[in-house]
Amino acid sequence: MSAVARAARARTAEGSSWWVYAAVAVFALLVLGIFLSAFLNSIASSWFGGWLPDGYTTRWYRFALAEFDLGYVLWVTVVVGVSVTILSLILGVPAAYVLARHAFPGRSPLLLLLVMPMLVPPITYGIPLAAMLYAAHLGGSLAGVIIVNIVPALPFVVLIMTPFFEQIDPNLERAARTLGAGPVQVFRRVLLPIALPGMLAAGLLILVRAIALFELTFLVSGARSQTLVVALYYTAFAAGIRPAQAIDAMAVVYMITGLVVLLAALRFINPVNMVIRVRR
């Protein structure tokens, strides 16, 4: 049987796939409709009852920029996101390497412990953690917000990077060791260059999650350390005080921030390998 015929048979065995496109189209239409509703409202001078707004304006963006101190909030969001990403990579990558390479008694419980913060709702440890940080005079500060956000980010690094290290051939390290490299040198000169794409992928994903993570930041942040999500929640929660269009304008800025990072992530990594890497 020729390769083409075999492929054709495989395709018929799989069945037709129109339903995939139909399902994706329905889902995408729903999401697009919701996004466009918010987006059009954010550039609408007014919108009463019609299919489309009555007129368009950029004043809500200018209003949001001035009224919500959007520039500062964006700056806090970037500082928190980038710090959390870098710190959790520094902490998580060596741990993932050890878990991937060494069999030692207690490895499974240790892995479970490191992944545990992902399995428990953030609010359960967030409330006492916030109380702890306030006692240490870190509550409401930028440092406090960064510290709490590391907790759910770290398990994510371990979970992504452990399978990644597992698929790197250990002979590369053995060869480097034979040639006289010390453990630090092996890590810096051999492992790090190989692991960089994986780290970049993990880093971008953590950045997306850190930007979106709400509960912990909400519990710890003060007036000057709110990230975009938290600032948005407060303005949306106090709806009626500020025009809905200005809230939408801010929400659109938030979405675009996250979208840029996500699209960058999708360029670097195939989402198929995002969660579990197939060992070849």
The residue among 70 and 151 lying less far from other proteins, judged by its C-beta, is 151
DSSP class of 277: P
Residues numbered 56 to 85 that lie near other proteins (CB under 8 A) are none
DSSP class of 58: S
Query: Minimum CB separation from other proteins for residue 236, in Å?
Result: 5
Contact pick of 23, 66, 86, 175 for other proteins (by CB under 8 A): 23
Contact pick of 8, 24, 143, 175 for other proteins (by CB under 8 A): 24
| Identity of residue 138 | L
| Identity of residue 259 | L
Q: Report if residue 197 touches other proteins, rule: CB under 8 A.
A: no
Query: Minimum CB separation from other proteins for residue 117, in Å?
Result: 5
**Surface-to-core class of residue 183, CB atoms within 10 Å of its CB (0-12 exposed, 13-18 middle, 19+ buried):** exposed
Concatenated DSSP letters of 22-46 = HHHHHHHHHHHHHHHHHHHHHTEEE
Asked if 134 and 221 count as a contact pair (C-beta separation under 8 A), the reply is: no
Contact pick of 113, 172, 192, 238 for other proteins (by CB under 8 A): 113
Query: Minimum CB separation from other proteins for residue 58, in Å?
Result: 18
Region from 64-72, 76-84, 115-123, 138-146 binding other proteins, contact rule CB under 8 A: 115-123
The residue among 3 and 51 lying less far from other proteins, judged by its C-beta, is 51
Structure tokens that stand for 252 in this block: 């659109």
Asked if 205 and 160 count as a contact pair (C-beta separation under 8 A), the reply is: yes
Contact pick of 67, 117, 140, 200 for other proteins (by CB under 8 A): 117
Residues numbered 26 to 45 that lie near other proteins (CB under 8 A) are 27-28, 30-31, 33-38, 41
Q: Report if residue 97 touches other proteins, rule: CB under 8 A.
A: yes
Residues numbered 134 to 173 that lie near other proteins (CB under 8 A) are 147-148, 150-151, 154, 158, 166-170, 173
Would you say the C-alpha torsion 85, 87, 90, 91 has a positive or negative sign? negative
Which residue, among 84, 206, 195, 95, has the nearest Cα to 146 in the 3D structure?
Answer: 84
